[in-house]
Chains A and B, each alone.
Chain A
Amino acid sequence: MSNSIIELSNIKVYFQQHQSLIKAIDDVSLTVDQGDIYGVVGYSGAGKSTLVRVINLLQEPTAGKVTVNNDIFFSKNEQSIQRIDKKDLRTKRRKIGMIFQHFNLLNEQTAIQNVEFALKHSSLNEKQRQKKAEHLLELVDLTEQKNHFPAQLSGGQQQRVAIARALANDPEILISDEATSALDPKNTNQILDLLKSLNQKLGLTIVLITHEMAAVKRIANKVAVMEQGKIIERGNLIDIFTNAKEPLTQELVGAQNASRTAIKLLQNYELTENEEIYHLVYSGKSIQEPLTTRLFEKFNVETSIIYGNVDLLKEKPIGTLYVILHGENKARQQAKQYLLSHGVLAEKLETEAV
């Protein structure tokens, strides 16, 4: 068996609104593996939240199949419909934690009561529940605030209570629905780092919905990009960041802005016969190599840097360069091969496109 923990196949969520049919989710399939931090990005209204609500059936799909941990939650096609039993669903939902943009804590209950609420139907007795809730609050560093009401806590603290609540039943999956979008940058990073450490310590699989690429960049290992109810691009974080195909993805990862900056700089520059513009992306080992020096030494190709940027993806640096290579045609080809063989993505930019 594969180690996939969430499997959504051909999910459709349609809403009838007045006379028109709204396709909130339009035939989307998504597989999340055990231990993934899967980022789902896109602008508001793209269907991200609707899609993840299908995972724990807070949103029942119009058609498609939902499998979580090898349990079929829902399956519907033209011929048949299969639904998990309501009571069973409640039990299984407890194994899928969920956190929200606006925290959604019970306002009339203290931090610890909020966590205990999630434990109400567990097999633990009252004392054990209290102990576990205290332990969870300790995990999110809120021991001192356990008797505070949500209104007495900051946004970041409220979200940490919500995380403690989401973890109460030892879930295998955590769904984060724009959980950092209402927080300031400092709290955002704290929450993201907390999620990351939960992923590492507890092996928690996380589905991270966000419109902030920075959040994905910080902790995700896989990304899916959504637009108008469809996943338009998906892949490993580094692939998406370094080699986005779709215009929206490029926009989200900022590649377009970078190339626009580069192109603007190039407008005042006329290429001679022996010059070509290259877009280089490098990461890992190649980042430490003195590549431009090598190009000159080996092939007598000079490199002028027009635009450069280094990004951190999951604490791994990714460099992007726009360069002009000066040299004989043959030497330039050799230089390109050399770069490619050293793990640098080298792509020639056509001057017409510029």
Chain B
Amino acid sequence: MSEFLAKVFPNVLAQGWTDEAGWLTAIGQTFYMTFWSFLFGGILGLLFGIGLVLTTPEGVYPNKVIFNICDKIVSFFRAIPFIILLAFIAPVTQLIVHTQIGTTAALVPLSLGVFPFYARQVQVALSSVDQGIIEAAQSVGATFFDIVFTVYLREARSEIARVTTVTLISLIGLTAMAGAIGAGGLGNTAISYGYNRFNNDVTVVATLIVLILVVVVQVIGDKLATSLNHRSN
């Protein structure tokens, strides 16, 4: 078996497991980046998404100023290609984490890269809640928090699970680019140790691991979205 592996993937085992270039190190970095930037970017995206839905002219709390500020910020960050964003916000990264390179430094651009995408997705998901349900909630004297949590977030939870899955997958894609600022991860393994050194076997294995990650996220996300949906039975 190992003879076979050594023949087909000669450079894969040479990467080692826990060294700087090791597989576990790379997987760990990808998880680290995905988790934290998903947390920060997710919270930011959720806040902006909710803000957009509530303050639109047709919303429950129409407010032109807040809506336009949220809308412009989201549009601005969505417009910047991620690989450029990495460099573009380097001064901000320096300010927040006191370094511009490395895995932790990548969290800043990753969070800022994923939040506008998530915000738009959340906006769409929340907009799917029937206006009539909101009206009915208002008619029984629902408060701001009732409307946000019990009506919007609870009613759209299946949709939110679905768009969260999409976002998470897209975020895994973004972490692959973070190698450009020395953040490591599976993407970096595929490019720096695989492609750049003509070790195609390393590229293939790194890609396969990313693929497995994406499939696992997709399957769990789909299951969650289905189990949270009571709209059709």
Q: Do A and B bind each other?
A: yes
Binding site for B on A (CB under 8 A): 56, 58, 90-91, 93-94, 96-98, 100, 102, 104-109, 117-118, 120-121, 149-152, 162, 165-166, 168-169, 175
Q: Which residue of A lies closest to B233 (CB)?
A: A151
Q: Which stretch in B2-10, B70-78, B139-147, B214-222 binds the other chain? A: B139-147
Instruction: Please measure, in the bound complex, the distance between the C-alpha atom of A174 and the C-alpha atom of B228, giving whole angstroms.
Output: 33
- A102-B130 in contact given A151-B230, A151-B233 (Cβ < 8 Å): yes
Q: Bound complex: CA of A120 vs CA of B142, how far in Å?
A: 9
Query: Min CB distance, A172 to chain B, in Å?
Result: 14
CB distance B140 to A104 under 8 Å?
A: no
Please determine whether B231 and A107 come into contact, CB atoms closer than 8 angstroms: yes
A117 near B141: Cβ-Cβ < 8 Å: no
Q: Are B143 and A107 in contact (CB under 8 A)?
A: no
B79–chain A nearest beta-carbon distance, Å: 30
- Chain B proximity of A109: nearest CB distance (Å): 7
Asked whether A94 and B141 contact (CB < 8 A) given A102-B130, A104-B132, the answer is yes
Tell me whether B157 and A108 are in contact (CB under 8 A).
Answer: yes
Q: Which residues of A contact B137 (CB under 8 A)?
A: 106, 117
In whole angstroms, what is the CA distance A109 to B130 when docked? 15
State A141–B132 Cα separation when bound (angstroms): 24
Check B150–A117 contact: CB distance below 8 A.
yes
23 A-B pairs, CB-CB below 8 angstroms?
A: A56-B139, A94-B140, A94-B141, A98-B136, A98-B139, A100-B135, A104-B135, A104-B136, A106-B137, A106-B150, A106-B155, A107-B133, A107-B230, A107-B231, A108-B154, A108-B228, A108-B230, A118-B141, A120-B146, A151-B230, A151-B232, A165-B140, A169-B140
Cα separation A214 to B127 with both chains bound (whole Å): 36
Q: For the complex, is B138 an interface residue (Cβ under 8 Å from A)?
A: yes
B86 in the interface (beta carbon within 8 A): no
CA gap between A251 and B221 in the complex, in Å: 56
Contact B130 A149 (CB under 8 A): no
B residues with a Cβ closer than 8 A to A are 130, 132-133, 135-143, 146, 150-151, 154-155, 157-158, 228, 230-233
Task: Select from chain A the residue with minimum beta-carbon distance to B229.
Answer: A108
* Contact (A108, B155) CB under 8 Å given A117-B140, A118-B140: yes
Q: Determine whether the beta carbon of B230 is less than 8 Å from that of A93.
A: no
Contact of B141 among A90, A109, A175 (CB under 8 A): A90
Given contacts A104-B135, A117-B140, 17 further A-B contacts (CB under 8 A): A91-B141, A93-B138, A98-B136, A98-B139, A100-B132, A102-B132, A104-B133, A108-B158, A108-B230, A109-B150, A151-B231, A165-B140, A166-B139, A166-B140, A168-B140, A169-B140, A175-B139
Query: Given A102-B132, A107-B231, does the pair A58, B151 have CB atoms closer than 8 Å?
Result: no
Task: Please name all residues of chain B whose beta carbon is closer than 8 Å to the beta carbon of A151 when the two chains form the complex.
Answer: 230-233
Interface residues of B, dominant DSSP: helix
CB distance A93 to B140 under 8 Å? yes
A58 and B139 in contact (CB under 8 A), knowing A106-B133, A149-B230, A151-B230?
Answer: yes
| CB-based contact B141/A93 at 8 Å | yes
- CA–CA, A336 and B157, complex, Å: 70
Q: How far is the CB of A183 from chain B (nearest CB, A)?
A: 16
CB-CB under 8 A from A118, the residues of chain B are 140-141
Residue numbers in B under 8 Å from A168 (CB-CB): 140
In the complex, the 5 A-B pairs of residues with the closest C-beta atoms, listed nearest first: A104-B136, A118-B140, A98-B139, A90-B141, A104-B132
Q: A107 near B155 (CB under 8 angstroms)? A: yes
- Identify which of A96, A106, A149 contacts B154 (C-beta below 8 A): A106
Residues of chain A within 8 A (CB-CB) of B146 are 117, 120
Residue of A90, A94, A105, A106 with most partner-chain B CB within 10 A: A106
Complex interface: chain A residues within 8 A of B143 (CB): 90, 121
Chain A residue numbers with a CB within 8 Å of B141 are 90-91, 93-94, 118, 121, 169
A200 to B216, CA, bound (A): 59
For B133, give its contact among A105, A166, A175 (CB under 8 Å).
Answer: A105
Complex CA–CA separation, A276 to B19 (angstroms): 111
Q: How distant is A100 from chain B, measured CB to nearest CB, in Å? A: 6
Q: How far is the CB of B118 from chain A (nearest CB, A)?
A: 21
Is there contact, CB below 8 Å, between B140 and A58? no
A residues in contact with B130, CB < 8 Å? 102, 104
Q: List A contacts of B132 (CB < 8 A).
A: 100, 102, 104
Q: How far, in angstroms, from A8 to B229 measured CA to CA in the complex?
A: 42
Complex-state Cα separation, A104 to B132, whole angstroms: 6
Q: In the complex, which residue of chain B has the Cβ closest to the Cβ of A89?
A: B141
Q: How far is the CB of A328 from chain B (nearest CB, A)?
A: 64
Chain B residue nearest in CB terms to A94: B141
Residues of the A chain whose Cβ atoms lie less than 8 Å from the Cβ of B151? 106
* Closest Cβ–Cβ distance, residue B148 to chain A (whole Å): 14
**Complex interface: chain A residues within 8 A of B138 (CB):** 58, 93
